[in-house]
Structure 1
Amino acid sequence: MNIRNKITTLFTLLTGVIILMLSVFIYHFSKRSIDREFFHRLTVRGGIAAQAHYEEGILGPDVYNEIRQKHLQRLPDEKEYFFDKIPDSLFLTSHHITLPPDFEEQLNAGKTVQFIRGLTYYSFIPYKYSGKRYIVMMSARNDYGEEGLRDMRQNLVLGIILAVIIVFVVGMLFSAEIVNPISNIIQRVKRISVTNLDMRLPEQPSKGEISDLTQTFNDMLDRLETSFETQRNFVNKLSHELRTPLTAILGEAELALSKERDPQEYRAALSVIAREADQLHHLTTSLLELAQAGNSVKEEFMGSIRLDELILSVKKLVDFTDPGNHIRINFESLPEDIEYITIYGNQNLLKLAITNVVQNACKYSNNGKVTISLHASESQCIVVVEDRGIGIPEKELRYIFDPFFRASNTSAYKGYGVGLPLAQKIIRIHRGEIRFTSMEGAGTRAEMRFPIRS
């Protein structure tokens, strides 16, 4: 069952139940009112009949019959009985009258007893005259009341059926008004594929859940389009980066094998092959590290890490790979409590991420001055790497985390454009973030933020 039918069905059932309960309520209290009014009529007639029967000097039977004929409409199957004492149960049973359990107690207390058996209404009325107590029994059928109730039942049933039909039709229209925007979104989304990710859902004129849903889909499509475009660029650049050294290796090998050469020429060819193979090795190693970083780290490889110690180990590693660096470490803003510089993570991965950032700073500043500083806020540890190198063009700053992207002013420097994407991926795994600010020709500032281990 689709959502439109569900809404219509639930709306109709709910409204139908409410109307049914209301109809039962109306019928019940209408019947009580009719019964009460008819019993009142029986009581009044019983009082007049008792007065005519027992007080003959004042109002005789002839006068009572004349009054009843002129002013009181005779009730269907109306009967009246007069008893000098509480009626005998055998007499009443012989007339097929079933008495209520407290019949005698009520009459002894001087109360009128009223009840209904089948279609007949019975009223037993105590009457006092000349110090004696008598009982008047009045019985009749309320044919007019029953006819009115029967008409009411028919009208209520017809009204319920008509109301349910109207509610169902209105519910269908109402649910269509609600569901149609969603159906339109579904139909449009179905037409979006890999070949037309630039399509977007039309914005809704009014604010609400449908507008939020449309915006959410459009945001998702933006991310998908960016992801597909990045992947496409990644594959193109990867193919180019892999093809270049492989072409050089194959070319040198074919050239060397094309004819006999002296040992010096072979050594030159092998030197080119070794250099290109080394470049290919570094490239594939970087790609492997990028892939192995994944999106999460196994818990058994996680632990508490002091960032000041991690920065010192990064400095030691860079000193080994690039002895000519001019890295300066600034720990002047360290908090007294080491908990504020302790994070939870994988030490090897974080060391790799920070090392990539520091090596970039050294490389693109031509081994100029690079400052690594560490400070903390109430909830974050912040590592800042600053250099005074060539900087990054402002328009290209947004692309530095795309794999294989290299800024337009880095052609003179060896690199593959993999280090920063890898660093960003590792930092994100640790629920951190990395930001770059740069000015071309003036230098670059990299800020890495990590949540403090609570």
Structure 2
Amino acid sequence: MSIRRKITSMFTSLTAAITILLSVLVYFFTKQYVESNFFHRMEVRAGVAGRAKFEANDSSLLFYNEMREKHLQRLPDEKEFVFNALPSLGSLDSIGVPSGAAFRSKLSQNKKVQFRKGDVYYYAILYEHQNKPYSIVLSASDEEGAAILFELKRNLIVGVLVAIAVVYIMSLMISKEVADPIRHIIQNVRKITASNLHLRLISKNSRGETAALTQTFNDMLDRLETSFETQNNFLNKAAHELRTPLTAIIGEAELALEKPRGSEDYTRALKIIAREAEQLEHLTSSLLELAQAGYSSKEAFMTDLRIDELLFSVKRLIDFTEPGNHVQMNMEGLPEAEYKLVVSGNTNLLKLAFANIIQNACKYSEMRQVDVSIHTDDTHCIITVNDHGIGIPENELKYIFDPFFRASNTSSYKGYGVGLPLAQKIIRLHRGILEFSSKVNEGTEVRVSLPFVEISN
């Protein structure tokens, strides 16, 4: 069911239920009032009838009858019955009173009784005259009250139907106002494909939920467009980086095979081919690691490990690959609670991430001192890597995690631009945060925050 139909049906159903309930209550209380008022009129006429029957002499009887006819409206089908003491069951049955025994019991206890049988109302009182009890029973039909209730019922039914119709029409109009912006968004979203991701949704309202929904879609389209552009750039740059060593290898091989050459020429060609093949292997391995780092945490084997021990392991690896490094491990900020050094992670992936970060610090600081320190806060273990190298231009910091991106001041340094994107993916895989701050010719600070494993009490 569409939103428009849901809104219309909900409004109409709710209004119908409320209107019908109110109409039933109005009819019920009006009926109660009409019956109560009619019984009150019968009570007055019964009292007048008793006085006229027992307390008036001939002259006053004429006066009572005259007053009753002039000022007390005679009730439709009014009948008066006077009985000595309590009326017998036979007498009650003869005048149409049902349940005579119950009638006599209530009249005896309460001195008066009232009830209704169909359209006929009965009212009876016990009247004492000269210490003798008499029963005065009055019966009548409330034609006026019945007409009022019939008219009220008809008006209420018509009113309910009119109210439902009006609310239904208004609900259609309101639901159209609510659904049209959403329908407009849906139509525009369906027009956007991979070939025209530059298109954006336009909101007719500057505020409200539809404006927020439009902005959310536009933000998502921004991310999708950026992702597509990044993917295309990645593929183009990857193809270029892979083609360069392959071209050199093929060129040297073809040159060596053009004509017979001396052993020195063949040796030189093979060295070039070996060097380019090594670069190709390194680049391919880096791309493979970058792709593997995109796996979910469920696919990567996680275990509890101490971050300080892992960093010392990385230091030993760098000492082996970069013998001239000046990496200093600063452990002064280690927490007293050792559990704050324990993180959940994949040892090999974290080693790869920190090795890339520290090797970059060594490379771009030209083997000057690099400081690695550890400290913690309430929830995270924070590893900081500081170097005193060439730094990164401020306007290029936002691109450092793009695959194959290299800062404008790094052209004289060997590299492919995949180390930091790889490190960022690995840190994100471990629910961590990788942050950079840098100044040109002053150095770079890298902060890695990893949540430590909390020990349950």
TM-score bin (small chain): over 0.9
Q: Which residue of 1 aligns with 2:8?
A: 8
Q: Deviations over 1:122-152 (max 9, x none)?
A: 1112111111111111111111110111011
Q: Which residue of 1 aligns with 2:444?
A: 444
**Native 8 Å contact 1:114 1:123 kept in 2:** yes
- TM-score normalised over the length of structure 2: 0.94
Alpha-carbon distance in 2 for matches of 1:95, 1:246: 121
Tell me the amino acid that sits aligned with residue 253 of structure 1. Answer: A
Q: Deviations over 1:23-77 (max 9, x none)?
A: 1111111111111111111111112222222235266665544333333332221
Q: Which residue of 1 aligns with 2:225?
A: 225
Provide the secondary structure at the position in 1 that maps to 2:137.
strand
Range with greater deviation from structure 2 (269-278 or 56-65): 56-65
Q: Which residue of 1 aligns with 2:30?
A: 30
Q: Which residue of 2 aligns with 1:258?
A: 258
Aligned pairs for 1:82-101 within 5 A: 82-99=82-99
**Native 8 Å contact 1:204 1:214 kept in 2:** no
Tell me the amino acid that sits aligned with residue 129 of structure 1. Answer: H
**Native 8 Å contact 2:364 2:390 kept in 1:** yes
Say if 1:100 and 1:94 are closer, same or farther in 2 by CA, change over 3 A. closer
Provide the secondary structure at the position in 2 that maps to 1:43.
helix
Aligned pairs for 1:326-345 within 5 A: 326-345=326-345
Q: Which residue of 2 aligns with 1:401?
A: 401
Q: Which residue of 1 aligns with 2:309?
A: 309
Range with greater deviation from structure 2 (190-199 or 354-363): 190-199
**Native 8 Å contact 1:436 1:446 kept in 2:** yes
**Native 8 Å contact 1:51 1:59 kept in 2:** no
Q: Which residue of 1 aligns with 2:80?
A: 80
Q: RMSD in angstroms over aligned alpha carbons?
A: 2.1
Provide the secondary structure at the position in 2 that maps to 1:188.
helix
Q: Which residue of 2 aligns with 1:179?
A: 179
Tell me the amino acid that sits aligned with residue 167 of structure 1. Answer: V
**Native 8 Å contact 1:330 1:371 kept in 2:** yes
Q: Which residue of 1 aligns with 2:45?
A: 45
Range with greater deviation from structure 2 (356-365 or 340-349): 340-349
Alpha-carbon distance in 1 for matches of 2:349, 2:204: 45
Q: Indicate whether 1:275 and 2:252 are aligned.
A: no
Alpha-carbon distance in 1 for matches of 2:216, 2:133: 87
Per-residue deviation, 1:108: 1.1
- TM-score normalised over the length of structure 1: 0.94
Range with greater deviation from structure 2 (308-317 or 219-228): 219-228
Range with greater deviation from structure 2 (19-28 or 190-199): 190-199
Range with greater deviation from structure 2 (338-347 or 25-34): 338-347
Stretches of structure 1 lacking an aligned partner (at least 5 in a row): none
Q: Deviations over 1:342-365 (max 9, x none)?
A: 222122211110000011111112
Range with greater deviation from structure 2 (333-342 or 344-353): 333-342
What's the % identity of the aligned pairs?
A: 53
Q: Deviations over 1:197-249 (max 9, x none)?
A: 22333356554333332222222122112111111111111111111122222
Say if 1:321 and 1:100 are closer, same or farther in 2 by CA, change over 3 A. farther
Q: Deviations over 1:88-140 (max 9, x none)?
A: 22333344432377422221124311111111111112111111111111111
Provide the secondary structure at the position in 1 that maps to 2:411.
coil
Tell me the amino acid that sits aligned with residue 104 of structure 2. Answer: E
Alpha-carbon distance in 2 for matches of 1:299, 1:248: 38
Say if 1:298 and 1:192 are closer, same or farther in 2 by CA, change over 3 A. closer
Provide the secondary structure at the position in 1 that maps to 2:74.
coil
Aligned pairs for 1:173-252 within 5 A: 173-202=173-202, 206-252=206-252
Aligned pairs for 1:317-332 within 5 A: 317-332=317-332
Alpha-carbon distance in 2 for matches of 1:357, 1:101: 105
Tell me the amino acid that sits aligned with residue 232 of structure 2. Answer: R
Tell me the amino acid that sits aligned with residue 199 of structure 2. Answer: M
**Native 8 Å contact 1:314 1:351 kept in 2:** yes
Say if 1:66 and 1:212 are closer, same or farther in 2 by CA, change over 3 A. same
**Native 8 Å contact 2:326 2:369 kept in 1:** yes
Q: Which residue of 1 aligns with 2:419?
A: 419
Alpha-carbon distance in 2 for matches of 1:81, 1:362: 121
Say if 1:17 and 1:236 are closer, same or farther in 2 by CA, change over 3 A. same
Q: Deviations over 1:362-397 (max 9, x none)?
A: 111222221211222232211111122222122211
Provide the secondary structure at the position in 1 that maps to 2:409.
coil
**Native 8 Å contact 1:406 1:416 kept in 2:** yes
**Native 8 Å contact 1:12 1:168 kept in 2:** yes
Range with greater deviation from structure 2 (68-77 or 160-169): 68-77
Q: Which residue of 2 aligns with 1:147?
A: 147
Alpha-carbon distance in 2 for matches of 1:100, 1:279: 116
Range with greater deviation from structure 2 (86-95 or 215-224): 86-95
Tell me the amino acid that sits aligned with residue 251 of structure 2. Answer: G
Provide the secondary structure at the position in 1 that maps to 2:168.
helix
Provide the secondary structure at the position in 2 that maps to 1:301.
coil
Alpha-carbon distance in 1 for matches of 2:261, 2:163: 102
**Native 8 Å contact 1:375 1:382 kept in 2:** yes
**Native 8 Å contact 1:370 1:386 kept in 2:** yes
Say if 1:389 and 1:83 are closer, same or farther in 2 by CA, change over 3 A. same
